[in-house]
A and B are shown apart, each in its own frame.
Chain A
Amino acid sequence: MDTPLAYYLANLAVYFLIYCMLTMGLNISFGMTGILDFAYITFMAVGAYVAGVVALGPATLDSQMTYILGLNWPFPLPLIAGGVAAGLFGALVGLLAMRRLRSDYLAIVLVATWSISWNLASNFTGLFNGTTGLLNVPQPLATNFNADPNSYVYVFIPIAAICVVLFFVVAYRIERSPFGRALRAIRSDPDVAAAFGKRTMRLRLQAMMMGCMYAGLAGALTILYIGAMNPSAWAIVETVIVFSALLVGGRGNVFGAILGALLVRIVIIEGTGLLPQVPNHPELLGALRNIAIGVLIIIVMYFRPQGVLPERRRRYELKPRRAQRVREAARDSA
């Protein structure tokens, strides 16, 4: 079991699970509700940083880092704090941006939100240690299982899997609920939804908050697993890649979100990473990765614009007794 290949695959599984969390969250805010959340990766970062600074002890001269809080909270509190902080930050951004803006302007405001947040985190060193970012964040339950850096991945897989399964159930319930139906109506035509009494602002805010919470949990899982986070991990292109994954997999369908995570995070990103390095061109593989994602989007949009696993039509069946009652009532009214 303890071979390099097993370690590699286990590591890959963790990244896949974390990416599932990201795509499932974006599926709620963008896939179901139509909010063009171009700041999405910011909420992942908020979750990561908050989880990091509550899991770390107070910043000292020895740690050579400066950051806020430093609460030394035990697991799972950092994970919860990361998700909650990102959700609340998402609600705040949504409250300010969605109240008066149409979706295209909202998208621009959200890009600006990412830019402000990224520059703030990079340059305000006292917040999350600037461009160096947070390091040496304690890994949850590592000491309980006497895990070393090579075996820790096997401790973390169940943690990530439990989170993903739990939040898959949440996403699935939302998708199948009257709440999810109202979100899809708002995505289709917010004015008509309002004309039918839907509190569109409130519902969109709830969706945005929920999506951001998923992103925050993904960020918290990331920092708790690798123990570090810095601004290079949440460049704006990362938001584009999560969007790509959802569009390829199928928006509005939680299974599509998971498939998108598999196709883009594992097949494309990991696949291009396996290509041999070209001497004297160290950045070529990164560029190839982005080209491959772009080509995949073009192919999917051309041949299957709804994604590989499109939104499913839900059928509502009536029990025979009720169906009979409907038939009789329809006959009477005719």
Chain B
Amino acid sequence: MTAPEAILSVQDVRHAFGGVQAVNGCSLQVPAGSITALIGPNGAGKTTLVNLVTGMMRLQGGSVEYAGQNISHWAPDRVARAGLLRTFQLSREFTKLTVLENLLVAATGQIDESLFGALFRRRSVQKQERALVEKARLLLSIFSLDDLRDEWAENLSGGQKRLLELARAVMAEPRMLILDEPMAGVNPALMTRLEEHIRDLRRQGITFLIVEHNLHVVERLCDLVIVMAEGKTLAAGAMSEHRANPEVVRAYLGSGAGPAE
């Protein structure tokens, strides 16, 4: 059996904030169709790496390849339109849009999302809107948010905002989704639901890279776990391999780390 092809390949990526080298020659590969975890201690450079990969920060060295294209210096909107989307460490919903509108605005490839379209192509816009609303309502039903569809997104609870972030990302039909600490501040029941959603979406063909500190979730969910420390990749493999790796134990897991229950 051959190893699956990498959908995302990061090579020797670097970024410094003043004198602090946040990402220092990091290289990693995310296999297509996988759920890959990116773990590591606070300050390891995980979120900076996500920002670099998605074009939200400029690379100071190295390269990023996604789906066979060099996206190293692409703007974030171009990266997103290529099918690589992300969520944020703290939920960042569009506050003064309703829950439903948060999904509608996320749909990529909308024709007429321009001044010209607003003024002169109303018929095609209306037709597209009907299809988008139907799709968004279905997603909201799946994510148990349909009853809240007409609420301002800012009024949702923390957990509901997490669900909204995921639903919104799915609405954009990504090929790959990077989730930055999706389980932070989420109760156990909701965590289980989020895990189920992620597995479902993987079955539909979406590749995941998940930055996460909850190692139980990582162990249950992820095929491949990449450990980052001090701005570079320390190791990549299964969680069980990392527990036996003294370097990973010293840098992140700590000596008391046992297998997840």
Contact = CB atoms under 8 A, between A and B. Distances in A.
A187 B96 contact: yes
Interface stretch (A122-130, A133-141, A171-179, A235-243): A171-179
Contacts of B133: 316, 318
Nearest to A181: B105
Interface in A184-234: 184-185, 187-189, 191-200, 202-203, 206-207, 209-210
A281 interface: no
Contact of A182 (B85, B113, B122, B146): B113
Main secondary structure of the interface of B (DSSP, over half): helix
Contact of A195 (B86, B134, B138): B86
Given A178-B104, A195-B80, A316-B100, A173 B119 contact: yes
Interface string B93-127: 01111101100111010101111011100100100
B118 A185 contact: no
Interface of A: 170, 173-174, 177-182, 184-185, 187-189, 191-200, 202-203, 206-207, 209-210, 252, 311, 313-316, 318, 322-323, 325-327, 329-330, 333-334
B118 A174 contact: yes
A185 B103 CA distance: 11
Interface string B74-92: 0111101100011010001
Interface in B223-246: none
Contact of A326 (B85, B118, B141, B152): B141
Contacts of B106: 196
B251 to A, nearest CB: 30
B104 A196 contact: no
B104 to A, nearest CB: 6
B247 interface: no
A329 B138 contact: yes
Nearest to B153: A188
B134 A188 contact: no
B130 A178 contact: no
B157 to A, nearest CB: 18
24 contacts: A179-B113, A181-B97, A184-B96, A185-B94, A188-B94, A189-B95, A193-B94, A194-B56, A195-B80, A195-B86, A196-B77, A197-B77, A197-B108, A210-B115, A311-B96, A313-B150, A313-B151, A313-B152, A314-B98, A315-B98, A316-B100, A318-B133, A329-B138, A329-B141
Contacts of B122: 173, 177
B16 interface: no
Contact of A197 (B56, B134, B151, B172): B172
A179 B118 contact: yes
Interface in B142-173: 142, 146, 150-152, 168, 172
Contacts of B142: 330, 333-334
Interface of B: 54, 56, 75-78, 80-81, 85-86, 88, 92, 94-98, 100-101, 104-106, 108, 110, 112-115, 117-119, 122, 125, 128-130, 133-134, 137-138, 141-142, 146, 150-152, 168, 172
A178 B117 contact: yes
A325 B85 contact: no
A174 B115 contact: yes
Nearest to A315: B150
Given A178-B105, A194-B56, A210-B115, 20 more contacts: A177-B125, A178-B118, A178-B129, A182-B113, A184-B96, A185-B94, A192-B92, A192-B94, A194-B80, A195-B56, A196-B172, A203-B114, A316-B100, A316-B129, A325-B134, A326-B138, A329-B141, A330-B141, A333-B142, A334-B142
A322 B134 contact: yes
Contacts of A191: 56, 76, 92
A185 B80 CA distance: 16
A325 B141 CA distance: 12
Contact of A178 (B88, B113, B119, B150): B113
Given A170-B119, A181-B105, A330-B138, A196 B85 contact: yes
Given A174-B115, A178-B117, A192 B108 contact: no
Contact of A313 (B98, B108, B130): B98
Nearest to A178: B113
Contacts of A209: 115
A196 B75 CA distance: 11
Name the 9 nearest CB pairs between A and B, nearest first: A330-B141, A177-B118, A197-B80, A179-B118, A188-B94, A197-B81, A194-B76, A206-B115, A194-B77
Contacts of A181: 97, 101, 104-105
Interface centre among B80, B85, B98, B113 (most CB of A within 10 A): B113
Contacts of A170: 119
A314 B151 CA distance: 10
Given A185-B105, A197-B80, A314-B101, A192 B118 contact: no
A181 B81 CA distance: 18
A179 B115 contact: yes
Contacts of B78: 197
Contacts of B104: 178, 181, 316
Interface centre among B94, B98, B114, B117 (most CB of A within 10 A): B94
A326 B117 CA distance: 27
B160 to A, nearest CB: 17
B85 A178 contact: no
B141 to A, nearest CB: 4
Nearest to A330: B141
